[in-house]
Amino acid sequence: MRGEERKAAIAAYKERKSLAGIYLIRCHASGQVWVGQSPNLGSVQNRAWFTLRFGSHPHRGLQKAWQDHGPESFALEIVETLEDEDSAYVRSAILKERLAHWREALPAEVI
């Protein structure tokens, strides 16, 4: 890849829109559900599965369930996406509000 092509590819990557929203991780073996928020839903599963595989996920209950039941028992589901919001502050506030809603609507723990 030439220098100009590389710069164009980097610029396109930086300008891409990320989809913010609420997701849940469900353990089919135990029936447990964890709900979380992310400003970038496109990368949340890779990030979560990586930390779970290496035993470094910050939520100890989720980590224990992963170790007890194995990765085949888990699924990540997107439950709500937010419309584009230019302000990171507003997006963060909306995510917190929607996370509280889904935590109550689902019998779920917050990640």
The residue-averaged pLDDT of 58-80 equals: 96
The residue-averaged pLDDT of 8-12 equals: 81
Read off the pLDDT band of 107 (50, 70, 90): confident
Q: What share of the chain in percent tops pLDDT 70? A: 98
Domain ranges for the chain, please list them. Answer: 18-110
| Class for the domain spanning 18-110 | alpha beta
Q: ∠ at Cα 94 (11, 20), nearest 5°?
A: 35
Q: What share of the chain in percent tops pLDDT 90? A: 69
| Distance between CA atoms of residues 79 and 57, nearest Å | 21
3-state secondary structure of 84: coil
pLDDT at 76 over 80: yes
Q: Which of 32-36, 64-68, 76-80, 106-110 has the lowest mean pLDDT?
A: 106-110
pLDDT at 16 over 80: no
